[in-house]
Structure 1
Amino acid sequence: MGASAKVELVEALVQALATALAGGEGITRRPASTYRLQLHAKFGFEAAADLVPYLAELGISDLYLSPILAAAPGSTHGYDVVDHARLNPELGGDEGFARLAAAAAANGMGILLDFVPNHMGIGKENAWWMDVLENGPSSVHAPAFDVDWTPLKAELGHKVLVPILGDQFGRVLERGELTLVREGGSFFIRYFEHVFPVAPRSVPQVLRFRLDALKEELGASDPGVQDLESICTALEKLAPRTETSPEAVAERAREKEVAKRRLGALCDSSERVRAFVDENVRIFNGTPGDARSFDLLHRLLDGQAYRLAFWRVAGEEINYRRFFDVNGLAAIRMEDPRVFTEAHRLVLGLVRDGKASGLRIDHPDGLHAPTAYFRRLQAAYLVERGRLLAQQRGEPLDAATEALLLERLTAELEAGRLPRRPLYVVVEKVLVAPEKMPDGWDVDGTTGYEFLAALNGVFVDPAAERAFDTLYSRIAGAREDFREVMIARKRLVMESSMASEINMLAHRLARISEMDRRTRDFTQRELTRTLVEYVSLFPVYRTYVSPRGEVHDRDRRYVEETIARARRRSPVVDPSIYDFLRDVILQRYADGLSDADRREWLELALKLQQVTGPVTAKAVEDTAFYAYVRLASLNEVGGEPRRFGTTPEDLHALLAERQARYPGSLSATSTHDTKRSEDVRVRIDALSEIPGDARAAWTRFTRMNRSHLTRIEGRTAPDRRDEWLVYQTLLGTWPDGGLAPGSPALEAYEARIHAYVEKALREAKVHTSWTNPDAEYEQGVHRFVQRVLASPPFVAELAALAARLARAGRVSSLAQVAVKCFAPGVPDVYQGTELWDLSLVDPDNRRPVDYEVRRRVLAEVRAERARGGDAVRALARRLSTPDALVEGRAKLLLLHAALAFRRERLGFFLQAEHRPLAANGPHAAHVLAFARSHGGRAVVCAVPRLVLRLLEEGEGQIRWEGALPLPEGLPRRWRDVVTGAVHDADAPSLGALFADFPVALLASE
C-alpha cells in the first residue's frame, strides 16, 4: 500500500470511528458497581467464573480483577508482570479467561482489568529483562527499562547493578554459590533459583580456555576445532554493548543467536568438543577452599552487562528505577511508543473483543508523563477498533499505518473532536486533601482512596481531638505532629532504601549547576541536602511537568510553597541554592542555555517528579502510618492522620466535586491495599466517641500487662506506641462472640495478630525493619501478644470494650455501605466484605473467602424479599436487631437491595446532582444525609454517625429525636429501597426513617 493510500485509509477509519462514537458505539460500558477479586493459582479464572452467578444476584454489574497477565511464578498478587503478551497460565490462561468472560457476558456483567504500566517483575521468566542483562545498552529491549547506564559509580558504567546476593560478592563466589552452566549453545550464571545470561562477547573466554591443548590432541584441521574457533571469532566480532545504533543492535541480536545455535549443534554432534567445553565450565566454577580457583569465574563475571552484588548495596547504588524500593520490580519506560504498543496489545484486544469493559491503571504517578499516557491509551483503544474496521474492509493495518492512525486519533482526542473517554479508565491516584485530580487526564476517575478516607473520617468525633492529643502525648512521651513525623520518615527513606535515587538526581543537578558560572560553586553535598529537604517537604505525591516543559499553575504553587518552607527551615544554607532548584523544576531557564542544556533541565524535572511519589508512598503509607498511631483508623491510604476526622460539610464538598468532574470514580471502603478493612476501621473510630473511656482503658491495660513487657537495654518491648497499636488492633478485630481459651479459633486469631504486628513493627522502622530485623525486640513483642491473649482478666476487659465499639461499628459499617451505594461514584466491594470482615493489611485481607456461607445468606435474603410487602419490612427489622446485627446479614441485605436498585438506574446515578441535607433536632449532628436528583427523579440517603452514646443510652436501640427536612423541588412520596416503607412527609422524623433499619435509602415514587 502506497503512502497516499495509507493516508486515505487512516482518514476513512477516523471518520468511521467518529460516526460510531457519536452514536454511542465503541464507548465502553460504565459500571454500576464493581466487585474486586484477588486472583492467584488457587483461585483463578475457573473459580471466578463459578462465582459470577452469585455476584450477579448480589447486584454487582462488573467484576474487578487483580492483574491477569503472566506474572512471576507463584505470584499471589499479579503485580509482578513478566510478559504483557500472555494471560497468566497459573490463573487458567486463555481458555480459563474465555470461560470467565463468557460467564460474565451471560450474566450481563462487565470485567474491569487491573493493568500495571509502571513496572515489570524481573527474573528469568522476563525475556525483556534477560535480554538486557545479556546485552546491556545494546539490547533490543534496553529502551524498555529506565536504566542509568552512566551512573555516578564508574564501575557500573554500561552495566545493571543486580543486588541479589545474600552476602558480600567475594564470599558468595568463593563458597561456590555462583556457578557457570551450559544449556545447549548458551551459558548462564546460576545463583540458587536465579539465572543470569552470559554476554555473547565474553563466551570465548570459556571456549578458548585450554584450546591449544585441544588443538594438539585433535589437530588444528579438525572440523570440530575449526568450528569452535569460528564460533569464537563470530562472537568476538559482535558489536560492543556500548553500540546502540539500530543497525548494530539488530545485527548483534541476530548474529549472537546464530552463534548459539552453531555451538549447540557442535556440542550435540561432537562428543569430544562437548566434553572439552563442559570440562572448562567445571574448571571455571572453582573449588571451595581454593580462593584462586575462582579467578576465572570472577573475570568472566566482570565482563557481563550486570554486576551481581550484596542486596544491602541496593539503597545506595542501584541504577535502574524500581517500583518504590522493591528490587524485583523494575520500572519500564511506557513513554517509548514501542514499549506502549507491546505492553497494551493484549489487554486492549480483550476490550475490543468485548471480553473486558475497562481498565484500572496501577500507580500512574510512576509514569513519565501521565497526561500523555492516558491520551495515548484512549487513542490506542480506538486503534484496536480501527483494526477491526480495516479487516472488515479487507485492508488490514500494517505497523506503519497503525502508527499513523494512532497519531491521528491522538490529535483528534486532544482537539476535542472525539469523546475524551471512549474507554472506561480509573486510576490508582492518591489525592492528599485538598489536592484535586490533575487537569487533562482522559480518565473517568480514581479508585477511591480519597472517598474512603473522607467517608471514614465522618465516623470520628472531632470534639475528641484534644483528648486524644493529650493521651497520645502521654503514650509517646512528647507531643507529635504527624507532618513532622512524615518529614522525618521521608528523610529516613531517602537516606536508606532510596538513597540511590537521590544520589542520581544530585549528580544530574550538579551537571546542570556547572552550566552557569553563577551556580557552579554549589557542591554535590549541598545539592544532595537541598534535594532531600525539598522532597521531604513536598506536600503531595508529585508534580506533572510535561515532556514539553509545560508547568501548570497547580504545580507552580506547590513548588514555590515548598521552596519557601525549605528556605525557612534551612537558615544556614545559601538561599540561592533553593532558587536554583526552583528554577530548574519550573523550567525558568538561565540566559544563554543551549537546547541541549535546556533538555538537561527538563530531564531533571521529569526524573525528580518520578521520585517524589515513591518516596512519599514509602515514607507515609509504609512507614509513618505505622509509627504515628494516635488513632490508627485514620492511617489509611489517601488519609491525613493529623486531621482528626472529616466534617459532613467536607465530605459533601468532595462528593459534589466528584459528581461534577469524575462521576465514574470508584467508591471504595476496603481494598487489597487498605491497612484495615472497612469494618475494623469504624470500630476503632468509635474510640473517638469515648475519649475518657479510651484513656481509662489505656491506664488499666498497661497496669494489667506491665509484667508481660520485656526490658531490653533501657527500653521495653513493646514500647508504649507499639503497645497502643496492639490494643487498637485487638479492639478493632476482636471477633463478635469472643474466643474460647485454648480453642483453634483463638490460635488462628493469635497467629494473624502475630503476623500483623511483625509487619507493623518492621514497616515503622523504629526498633526493627525488613532490612535490619531486631530479633530480640520482635520476640519481646510477640511474647507480649501471646501473654496478654492468655490473660483472662485482660481478655475480659478487652472483650467488654470491644463489644461496645462493635455495636457502634456495625451501625457505622452499614452507614458506609449506604453512602457509597448512593453517593457520586461507583460502589466498589472488596471480596468477602458483603458480610462483616475484620481483616488487617495484606496478606491478612487476602485470606480465602467462604462463598458458600455468602451464597446461602443471599439465597435466604432473596427468598424473603421475593415475598414482598410486609415480609420485606419484617426481614429488615429482624436482621437489624442488636443480636442479629452480629451475624452481618444486614450488611448483605443492604448491599443487595442498594446495588440491585442502582444497577437498574445506572444513567440516573451517573448524572444526578449531589445535594447536602441537614437534619434538625437534638440528634441532628448524628445524621449524615444527602439527596441526588435528575430528570424529575430523586433519591435520599440518610445514615447515622457517632452513635455509640446514643446506643448505650437506649440500651442497644437509638431513640431518635429530630427530623430530616427535604428541600423544595424534590418529590414528596418516597419508598425505602431496603425496607419498602413509604414516607410522604415534607420532613420525615428520624424515628420514622430509622424505624425498620439502621440506615435509610429512599427513592422517589
Structure 2
Amino acid sequence: MTVPRSTLRLQFHRGFTFDDAAKHVDYFAALGISHLYASPVTTAEPGSTHGYDTVDYTQVSAECGGEAGLRRLVDKLRAHSMGLVVDMVPNHMGVSGSGNAWWLDILEWGRHSAYARHFDVDWHSPDPALRGKVLLPTLGAPYGDELAAGRIALDFAADSGRFCIGYGPHVFPVCPTDYAAILQSAERADLSALAERFNGLTTQPTDQPRAAEGRDELREFVAQSGRAAIDVVLQAYAPDDPVTRDRLHRLIERQHFRLAWWRTASDEVNWRRFFDISTLAGVRVERPEVFDAVHALVFRLYHEGMLDGLRIDHIDGLAEPREYCQRLRQRLTELRDTAPYVVVEKILGRGEPLRDDWPVDGTTGYDFMNDVGALLHDPAGAEPLARTWTELTGRSPRFADEAVAARRKILVENLPAELDRAARALHRIARDSLTTRDFTFTTLRRVLTELVVHFPVYRIYPQNGLRSATDNLYFEQALAGARAALSRADHAVLERVNAWLGGSAEDMPGARPGAPQQPAQNGMPPSHAGSSRRSAQTLFSQLTAPVAAKAIEDTACYRYGRLLSRNEVGSDPGEFALSVERFHAGNLERSQRFPHTLLATATHDHKRGEDVRARLAVLSEIAEDWGATLRAWSTLNAPHRRALDGKPVGSVGQDTGQGFGQDRSDAWAPGPAAEAMLYQTLVGCWPPELQPDDEAGIRKLAERVAQWQLKALREAKLQTNWLAPDEAYEAGCRDFLFDILAPQRRDGFLKELFAFVARIGRAGVLNSLQQTLLRLASPGIPDLYQGTELWDFSLVDPDNRRPVDFAKRVAWLAQTPPSEFLPGWRDGRVKLAVVQRVLALRAHLPELLSQSTYLPLVVRGAHASNVIAFARRHGNAWAVVVASRLAAGLLGDDGDLPMVDPVQWADTAVEVPSDLSARALFDWLSPAAPKVDENGLLYLRDALAAMPIAMLVEDGVPRG
C-alpha cells in the first residue's frame, strides 16, 4: 500500500485548475507533503465550486482541466515522488441542469429507462399523480402560475432531435411516444410522414432504438429544411393562448415527470435526495451495475497508476456501507499489486467505533478534530458559560435540548417525505402479519418519528437483518427517548418496530391471511419478509443520517452558543472539554486500530477555521470575564439594534408593540442569541494584524462576517430560513453589524473589541501551536487544508474556500527553526515553520511517526494540568512531544510572546521512559537540547524555554 506521510487538500474548480495546482507542486514538496488530496475530479454541474454535484462519473472535469490536465498534475507529482488521493462521491449526483444523461434518460423513459434503477426513485408512490413519475420540484412558483405566465414551454433541441419542456435553464425531455401527436399537430404532410416513425412506439427497451432512429431523421430534416416547420409545431403548444396552453398542459401530464413548485419537495419528493437538497439525487451504488458505472473512471485511473487512493464522501448515505467498502477494496486490489489507500468521511459519536469489518484505512479526520478541539477547553468554563448563555438569551443551557427540537423540526419541515417513505415500509411489514395488521400508518409514523428524534448517532449497520451489539448501544438510547415521549398506548408498536429494525430474529411477519405459513430457516425470516425488513432498515438508516446532519450541524449548531469553538462538524457541542487522559486514549485506539487514518483540524466543510476555534477556546479559561464582556458590549451596542422589520428601534413607538421589550425580550434584530454569537465570531476571526483604525480592513472583515451571519441566521431557522427568508430582519441584522463596526465606533466598540482580542490573542496562538503539533505528531496521517499552514481565521464556506496566496507561502519557507519566528507570531510564519519542520521529521525518520509505539507520559509538579506530553518510539529512535495547554492564566499581562515564562513552570516536569534517562534530547523546533535528569525527569523550564511546544528527538544514532 502507498500510505501517505501527509496530505494536503485542494479544492478544484474552474478558478483553480489542475494546471494551477501543478504550478505549486514544488512548494507542496518543499513543505513536506507526500500526497495531494483532491476534491472530486469527475464532471460536475457547470460552474460548480466544490465538485460534489457530479453529473458524469465517466469524465474528468473539463472545467478543472480535463484528463490531460490531471495527467500533467500527476506527472509533476511523480517527478517529486508524490502521490494523489481523490475524493469520490458515490452517494449522489447533480440533477439541476441538463448535463446528467442518466437522469435525463429516466425523465424521458420513466421506469423503462436503462437508468431507472440507478437512482433511488419510488415508482410506486401512494400519490396517484406520482405513480410511475419523478417529482421535479423545480418551479419558482406554483405550476399553474408558471404555466399561465408562459414560463413553461415546449422546445426543440436541433442538435439531438429531441422535443423537451423548457423552464428557464432547465430542460426536461419529452417521451418519444408523444412525438407522433406533436408532429401531427402542425397538419403538414412532411411532418406527418416523420410522425409515422413514432406511431405505435412504446417505452419498452426494445422500442427505444427505434425512437433514436426517428430522432436522427427528425434532426436531419431540421438541418436540411430549417426550423420553420418545427416552429409551427411549437406554436401549437404555445403557452400564451388558452387552447394551446391546455394542449401543452396535457402533454406535460403524460410525461414521466411531474413539474412542481420547489416548495413541494419536502412533502412530496419521491426519490432519495442528498439531505434535503433537491438538486442532488441519491444513487443506488449498492447495485453491481451501478457500482461499476459510478467507479469506471476512478478504477481506470487507479489501474493506470494515476491515483494512489480514494476518500469516500458521505459513506452513511449508502444503503450498505460495509458491503460497499468490501467491494471497493476488492476491486482496487485486483487492479494493482499494491493495496489501495482508502478513507471514509464518517461522523463518529463519542465512543462510537469505526467498524472493524469495513476494510478501510480510517476516517477523514473529523474524530481527531473533535478530540483535539475539546482538549483545548477548560472544563471549569462549561457551567458559567452555559449560565451566561441562558441568562442573556433565554434559551436552554443544554445542547441536547436544542438537538431534539432541531431534529423534530427537520423531520416535520425538511424531510417529511423521507419520513413517510420509511413509515410506509414499516406499514407494509405490519400488513403482512395477522398480529400487526391493525397497526396504522399514522401510529407507525409517530413511533418512527420519536426513534429518529432521539437517535444519538448517524445510523445503524445491520447485518443479515440484525443489529450488532454496537448498534444496540445507540438504538437502546433512542428506544428510551421514544418510550418517554410516546404514550403507553404506542409502546407495543414501538417494541415491534424495534424488532423489525433489527432487534430480533424471532419476531417476524407472518404470511398474509389465507396464504400458507412459511417457516423460518436457520432462525431467519421468509425471504419476502426478510427483504421487507432490510428495506425498512435501509430507509431508517438513510433517514437518521440526514436528520443528524441537518439537525445538528446545520440547525442546532447555529442556535446554541455557549461557546462556538465546540460547534463544529463532527463535534457534540454538549461535550465541552476532553481530558488529557481521554485524548491519549483516543490516540492509542487510533494507533492500534487505524494507524493510517487522517488527522484533520480544518476541512472544506468546517464552520470556523482551526485558529478561530483555538482562540475562542481561551474563553473557557476566562468564562466569568467573558460573560461580563458580553453584557457590557450588549449594553454598549443596544442603540444600534433594529426592529424586526429592519427599521432602527428608535423609530418604532414603544406603545405599538412593534419594538423590543413589549411581548418578547428578543423582538429586535439581531436578537440576543444571534448578537451573542456575533460577538464570539468577531472575537474569533479578527485578523491578528488588523488595527481598529484600518477602515478598509474593517470593511473587508465586516463583509466576511456578514456573509457568515446571513448563513447562520438562515441555518438556525428561527426568525428566518432558506425556504422563507425574512429579508427585512436579515437586513436589520446586517445593518447592526455594519453599525457597530463603523469607523465612528473606533473609540468605542471597535476599541474594546480590539483590546479584548489582544488580551486573549497570545493564549489563542498557544492553543493553535499546540493543536498543530498534536495533529502532526499523533498516530495517523496529518492532513492540511489548503492555505492553513498560515493562520486560518476563516469562517464557514464560502469564506473557507477563498483563493490561497501560495506566493507568500513559498517566500516564507525556510530552514530556520520555528522558534526564530515566534516574536513575529502575528504574521503566521511560526505556524508555517512548525508544519514544515515536523513534516521534514516525518520524511527524515518516517517510521518514527507512522509505525511507532504511542506512549502517554505523566506530568507532575505545580502546573502538571497545563501540559500534555507523549512519546513515539520505533526501535532506538524516540520523539517526545510536549505542549503547553490551558495556559491563559500563566501567560500574564506582560510580554508579547505566546508562551509561558520558563520560570513559571517551577518544578513541573515530564516523566520520560528510563531509556532516555540522562540523555540529551534535541528539539526539532528550536536550538534547545534539554537533558533528562538521572531520575527520568524532563523539566518544562528547559523543554519549553524557547517555544510553547517541543518536539524532542533522540534518533538512536551515536554522535561523536
State the Cα deviation string for residues 346-403 of structure 1 (Å, max 9, x = none): 11222222212111110000011111111111111133238xxxxxxxxxxxxxxxxx
Asked if 1:916 is matched to 2:840, the reply is no
Query: What letter is aligned with 1:232?
Result: F
Q: Alpha-carbon deviation of 1:786?
A: 0.8
Q: 1:590 aligns with which of 501, 508, 512?
A: 508
Indicate the residue corresponding to 2:949 in structure 1.
999
Q: 1:227 aligns with which of 185, 189, 193?
A: 193
Specify the alignment match of 2:102 in structure 1: 128
- Secondary structure in 2 aligned to 1:112? strand
Mapped partners of 1:315, 1:444: distance in 2: 36
Residue 167 of structure 2 is matched in structure 1 by 191
2:238 corresponds to which letter in structure 1? Answer: N
Q: Matched residues in 1 for 2:333 and 2:624: separation?
A: 60
Specify the alignment match of 1:542 in structure 2.
Answer: 459
| Equivalent residues, number | 903
Aligned to 2:768: 813
Q: Specify the SS of the correspondent of 1:603.
A: helix
> Match of 1:728, as an amino acid?
Q
For 1:267 and 1:696, locate their aligned partners in 2 and report how far apart those are by CA, in whole Å.
Answer: 76
For the Cα contact (< 8 Å) 2:858–2:910, is it kept in 1?
Answer: yes
Amino acid at match of 2:286: E
Please give the alpha-carbon distance, in whole angstroms, between the structure 2 residues aligned to 1:447 and 1:237.
50
**Correspondence for 2:820 among 869, 878, 889:** 878
Residue-by-residue CA offset, 1:609-666 (whole Å, 9 max, x unaligned): 1111011001101111000111000001111111111111111111000001011111
| 2:612 is equivalent to residue 612 of structure 1 | no
Which residue type is aligned with residue 468 of structure 2?
H
* C-alpha contact (below 8 Å) 2:186/2:232 kept by paired residues: no
CA distance in 2, matches of 1:819, 1:426: 20
Aligned to 1:188, what secondary structure does the other structure show? Answer: strand
The match for 2:449 is: 532
Show structure 2 runs of 5+ residues with no match.
Answer: 512-525, 645-657, 659-663, 956-960
Secondary structure at the counterpart of residue 83 of structure 1: strand
Pick the aligned partner of 2:643 from 682, 696, 711.
Answer: 711
Structure 1 residues 11-55: Cα deviation after superposition (integer angstroms, max 9, x where no partner): xxxxxxxxxxxxxxxx3x100111111111111001100111001
- Higher mean alpha-carbon deviation, 277-286 vs 45-54, is at 277-286
8 Å CA contact retained: 1:205, 1:300: no
Conservation of the 8 A alpha-carbon contact between 1:65 and 1:111: yes
Of 713-722 and 644-653, the range deviating more from structure 2? 713-722
Matches within 5 A, 1:287-302: 287=240, 290-302=241-253
Partner Cα distance (2:413, 2:846) in 1: 49
Instruction: Give the equivalent residue in structure 2 for 1:906.
Output: 846
- How far, CA to CA, are the matches of 2:893 and 2:705 in structure 1? 33
State the secondary structure of the residue aligned to 1:451: helix
Once superposed, which parts of structure 1, at least 4 consecutive aligned residues long, lie more than 6 Å away?
A: none
Matched, 1:564 2:517: no
C-alpha deviation, 1:805, in angstroms: 1.9
Per the alignment, residue 35 of structure 1 pairs with 8
Q: TM-score if structure 1 supplies the norm length?
A: 0.88
Quote the residue 2:517 is aligned against.
none
Report 1:381-530 matches (<5 A): 381-385=332-336, 422-530=339-447
- Is the Cα–Cα contact under 8 Å of residues 284 and 294 in structure 1 kept in the other structure? yes
Distance in 1, matches of 2:208 and 2:192, equals 24
SS at match of 1:73: coil
Query: Take 2:120 and 2:843, find their aligned partners in 1: how far apart are those partners?
Result: 43
Query: What letter matches 2:775 in structure 1?
Result: K
Matched, 1:206 2:206: no
Letter in 2 for 1:200: P
Q: 1:953 to 1:322 in 2, by over 3 A?
A: same
Q: CA RMSD in A?
A: 1.7
The letter of the residue matching 1:726 is: L
Calculate percent identity across the aligned residue pairs.
Answer: 38
Q: 1:129 to 1:970 in 2, by over 3 A?
A: farther
Partner residue, 2:233: 280
Using the size of structure 2 for normalisation, the TM-score is 0.92
Asked if 2 retains the 8 angstrom alpha-carbon contact of 1:33 and 1:903, the reply is: no
Q: Give, in angstroms, the shift of residue 742 of structure 1.
A: 6.4
SS of residue in 1 equivalent to 2:711: helix
Q: 1:284 aligns to what SS in structure 2? A: coil
Matches of 1:919 and 1:954 in 2, distance apart? 27
1:666–1:828 contact (8 Å) kept in structure 2: yes
Q: 2:755 corresponds to which residue?
A: 800
One of 704, 710, 714 as aligned partner of 1:762: 714
Listed one character per residue, the Cα deviations across residues 84-128 of structure 1 (whole Å, up to 9, x for unaligned) are 111100011111111100110011111110111101111311111
Distance 1:657 1:692 in 2: 36
Q: How does 1:812-851 map to 2 (within 5 A)?
A: 812-851=767-806
Paired position in structure 1 for 2:914: 968
One-letter amino acid of the counterpart of residue 631, structure 1? L
Which range moved further: 649-658 or 559-568?
559-568
2:583 to 642, 645, 651: 651
Q: What's the CA shift for 1:834?
A: 0.8
Show the counterpart of 1:937.
Answer: 877
- Kindly state the Cα deviation for residue 72 of structure 1 after the two structures are TM-superposed: 0.6
AA aligned to 2:779 is P
Structure 2: how far apart are the matches of 1:723 and 1:938?
49
Is residue 939 of structure 2 the alignment partner of residue 989 of structure 1?
Answer: yes
Structure 1 residues 179 and 737 mapped into 2: Cα distance closer, same or farther (>3 Å)?
same
Quote the offset at 1:504 in angstroms.
1.1
Q: CA deviation at 1:936?
A: 2.5
* Aligned-partner residue type, residue 238 of structure 1: T
Is the Cα–Cα contact under 8 Å of residues 93 and 283 in structure 2 kept in the other structure?
yes
Are 1:315 and 2:315 counterparts? Answer: no
The 5-angstrom pairing of residues 51-200 of structure 1 reads 51-122=24-95, 123-184=97-158, 185-200=161-176
CA contact (8 A) 1:207 1:232 kept: no
Cα pair 2:5 2:846 within 8 Å, conserved: yes
Shift of 1:269: 4.8
1:958 aligns with 2:885: no
Distance 1:129 1:181, change over 3 A: same
Given that 2:7 and 2:783 are in contact with CA atoms closer than 8 Å, whether structure 1 keeps it comes out as yes
- The residue type paired with residue 900 of structure 2 is I
Aligned CA distance change for structure 1 residues 945 and 156 (closer, same or farther; 3 Å): same
Distance change (3 Å), C-alpha of 1:478 and 1:162 = closer
* 1:568 Cα deviation after fit: 2.0
Distance 1:78 1:684 in 2: 31
| 8 Å Cα contact 1:879-1:889 kept in structure 2 | yes
Q: Which residue of the partner structure matches residue 648 of structure 2? A: none
State whether structure 2 residue 284 is matched by structure 1 residue 329: no
1:63 is aligned with what amino acid? L
> Are 2:181 and 2:195, in contact at CA under 8 Å, matched by a contact in 1?
no
Distance across 1 between alignment mates of 2:579 and 2:179: 68
Which amino acid in structure 2 is aligned with residue 37 of structure 1? L
User: Which residue in the other structure is 1:869 paired with?
Assistant: none
> How far does the alpha carbon of each residue in 1:560-606 deviate from its partner, in whole angstroms, 9 at most, with x for none?
33213211222344210101110110153426344223311221111
- Conserved? CA contact 1:821–1:899, under 8 Å: yes
Spell out, residue by residue over 1:166-192, the C-alpha distance to the aligned partner (whole angstroms, 9 max, x if none): 000011011111111112321011111
CA distance in 2, matches of 1:916, 1:357: 32
Q: Structure 2: how far apart are the matches of 1:764 and 1:561?
A: 26
Contact conserved, 1:60 with 1:900, CA < 8 A, in 2? no
Q: Deviations over 1:925-972 (max 9, x none)?
A: 111111111223221111111111211255445232211120234573
Is contact 2:500–2:508 with CA below 8 Å preserved after alignment? Answer: no
Match of 2:595 in 1: 663
8 Å CA contact 1:668–1:828 kept in 2: the answer is yes
**Structure with the largest fraction of helix:** 1
CA–CA distance in 1 between the matches of 2:384 and 2:239?
67
Structure 2 CA distance for aligned equivalents of residues 775 and 229 of structure 1: 51
Q: Match for 2:888: what amino acid?
A: L
| Distance in 2 between residues matched to 1:757 and 1:591, nearest whole Å | 51
Uncovered stretches (5+) of structure 1, i.e. residues with no partner: 1-26, 216-223, 240-247, 387-420, 866-871
* Match in the other structure for 1:406: none
Indicate which of 354, 364, 376 corresponds to 2:305: 354
Query: For the Cα contact (< 8 Å) 1:168–1:310, is it kept in 2?
Result: yes
- TM-superposed deviation, 1:796: 0.7
